[in-house]
Structure 1
Amino acid sequence: MAALVPRTDSSGTDVFATRHGCFIVRSDLGCFLQALDFCSGQDITVWDLHPACRGGDHYVGDPTSSAIYLLRGDTFCKVLDLSSAPPGSALPLHPSCQGGDHYACCEGRFFIFFPSRGVVLSVADLATGAAAEEVRLEPALLQGMYYYGADATHLACFRVNEESRPCVHLFAPAGREEVFSLHPDVASFLPGGLALIHGPAFGVWECLKLISNATDLPMPSSHEIARKVGCSKVVFGQKVAASGSLDAKALAVALLQSQFSLPAAFGGLGLRTEQEEWEEVAEEGEALRVILQPRQKLYWWQYRLGLGNDPILFCRSLKVTRSPSPPTHVPLPLADP
């Protein structure tokens, strides 16, 4: 079963909200998504992430202002736009504010989540740790994958429900809770999201052609092997706008490459596909001349990858076998662990 990659296992990925909307940062792809909200799918745009804003450990937005806090190690800085360099120098985090698994801003305070301890610490200032208060997290809130301040009075987290559907769990620091479905285009932008929406990745050998010699004599023969090469389907946000150096197709390809590189636990294959042909799928023909031995059969196979039941990437790798069983060799390099 596919799953979203939690923030703690995806360095440089985070979610937050400001008064300008809701955001997902993907440092590994060098971009970030902005939407009106995470549930409706309205006004989704993907922007270039400034190099100086990449690689943050946490990105924390103030839902009542334009402020974004970028945390790296034991320091933080304040930015107003992730497309630009931070305007000032970094400040040290107060020792009590260091080492959190998740950070959020709500009610004019910062919330630092420590799920392993089952607690959340709230402070008035990250640099001083002033007015610190620690409360226990409800058990239902310990399974969040990404936490953020949703508005002036509510915190929220991303979770996967019992039906394996991604959702937003909205809750007040002291109050009632609500659950909303995460829009598919938003979920698809998260690490592991494409497999959660479209189905886990697969890699298989497809038999393109069988040739055989049913006689008792060697037989020369000529054949044409027709195969598809390239990417056949874009599975991310047909209505998503892209900005700057990005374009929608390049973004979709980057998300697919990222998905295929993930471990199987997150719906991936653990394979690198950057060197494959990612242009729009096209048919190619290859001339073949062989001498078949008596009673011999030859099978031509092509490797392809996809999500769910849909083939997406047709690789250049071909393999010939004498057996009707597909090859066991995987012709793509392993992704970095």
Structure 2
Amino acid sequence: MAGIVPRAHSPGTDVFATPHGFFVVRSDVGCFLQAPECHSPEAVEIRGLHPACRGGEHYVGDAAGSSVCILQGNAFHRTMDLSTAPSPGALPLHPTCRGGDHYASWGGRFSVIFLARSVVLSVADLTTGVEAEEMPLEPASCHGLYYYACDATHLAFLGVDEQRGLYSQVFSSSGHQDVLPIHADVASFLPGGLSLVHRGTFGAWECIKLIQNETDGPLPGSHEITRKVGHVEEKLANWTFSTAGSPEPADLSVALLQAQFSLPPAYGGLGLRTEQEEWEAVAEEGEELRIILQPRQKLYWWQYHLGLGNRPILFCRCLKVTRSPASPDHLPLPWSDSGDAGV
């Protein structure tokens, strides 16, 4: 089962919660998602991420307030809204608070999760590290993809498995744990989520024309090759878009699909770059060919396309010709940085 890309392998991506809802930040597409709850389909909104808020290593929302801390290196900035610029002055991280795998804010304190040591460090202030306390992280809670404070008293993490799909699991020092499924409209926005929700991606060659000479002599002729080029504009989720600073739905759809196709197979991708392809609405193109077929010769014309689930999404320009009904054995698209022939 293909999974969701963990935070450590998706720079600029993170999740957090505040009294205003559940948030997913995607720096790579310049947007963030806001929903009342991660398991609810209600009012899932996409908003534009301010350029100065992109590229954070961690995004930490206050489960009891409205501020968001954007951690980068050994410092952080605060903002009240990710669609606006953060405060200009960077605040230093105390040495004991540096190098955490995940960060969260709840109950007026900050939690720094160190997975290698299986501990959660709780401090009253990230800049001073005062009132530091450590608690062990149970082995079952050490394999989360993203960690966040779901309310003012509990931490939670996102996980994925065959039975439950993508889920949120609440954990606490008392051992109490609740598991809730992540709604598809939220899951689709996470890196790897489109494949998880739509049951995989694929790339395939399709034979769009067969030309044959059934005589015993050469056969000149003119033939029309018609192919589709572009991408099928499809609604990926039930998202709403605020009017100020939000991307166009079509632009976001393209950015998310390009990102999904570029991921390695472990995260439901194909490891292929598609930015150079035609991403306008799909249209048909015709081309006339003048060919002399040799006696008893057959020529098969193939076009490559990529898709989600079982639906073609992107029709590539590249055409290939074979003399047998076997499809071409190579890929017409370049490998992405995250995928290669050995993935």
Query: In which range does the TM-score fall when normalised by the shorter chain?
Result: over 0.9
Residue identity matched to 1:281: V
Residue 245 to residue 148, structure 1, CA distance change in 2 (3 Å): closer
Aligned residue for 1:252, secondary structure, equals helix
Contact 1:225 1:287 in 2 (8 A): yes
User: SS of 1:249's equivalent?
Assistant: helix
Paired position in structure 1 for 2:95? 95
Indicate whether 1:280 and 2:281 are aligned.
Answer: yes
Amino acid at match of 1:83: S
Please give the alpha-carbon distance, in whole angstroms, between the structure 1 residues aligned to 2:133 and 2:186: 33
In the alignment, the residues of structure 1 paired with residue 108 and residue 162 of structure 2 have an alpha-carbon distance, to the nearest angstrom, of: 33
Matches of residues 317-332 of structure 1 in structure 2 within 5 Å? 317-332=318-333
Aligned with 1:288: secondary structure? Answer: strand
- What's the RMSD between the two structures over aligned residues? 1.4
Is 1:205 aligned to residue 190 of structure 2?
Answer: no
Query: In the TM superposition, what whole-angstrom CA distance separates every residue of 1:92-138 from its partner, at most 9, and x where no partner exists?
Result: 11111000000011111111111122111111110111111111111
Aligned equivalent of 1:292:
293
Count of equivalent residues: 337
Determine whether 1:310 maps to 2:332. no
User: What SS does the aligned partner of 1:189 have?
Assistant: coil
Shift of 1:172: 3.1
Tell me whether 1:123 sits opposite 2:123 in the alignment.
Answer: yes
Unaligned runs of 5+ in 1: none
Tell me what 1:81 maps to: 81
2:60 maps to: 60
Aligned position for 2:171: 171
Could you tell me how far apart the structure 2 residues matched to 1:232 and 1:213 are? 35
Amino acid at match of 1:123: V
The answer on whether the counterparts of 2:16 and 2:148 sit within 8 Å (CA) in structure 1 is yes
How far did residue 261 of structure 1 move?
A: 0.5
Name the SS for the 2:187 alignment partner: helix
In the aligned structure 2, how far is the partner of 1:59 from the partner of 1:185? 21
Work out whether residues 155 and 173 of structure 1, in 8 Å CA contact, stay in contact via their aligned partners in 2. Answer: no
- TM-score, with normalisation over the residues of structure 1? 0.96
- Mark the runs of 5 or more structure 2 residues left unpaired by the alignment: 339-343
The sequence identity of aligned pairs, in percent, is 61
In structure 1, what is the Cα distance between the partners aligned to 2:84 and 2:231?
A: 33
2:337 corresponds to 1:336: yes
Query: Structure 1 residue 240 and structure 2 residue 250: aligned?
Result: no
**Corresponding residue for residue 269 of structure 2:** 268
Q: Deviations 1:255-276 (Å, cap 9, x if unpaired)?
A: 1000001111111111111121
| Separation (CA, whole Å) in 2 of partners of 1:143 and 1:205 | 38
Structure 1 pair 164–265 and aligned structure 2 pair: CA distance change class (3 A):
farther
Letter of the 2:202 partner, please give it. F
Contact 2:261 2:273 in 1 (8 A): yes
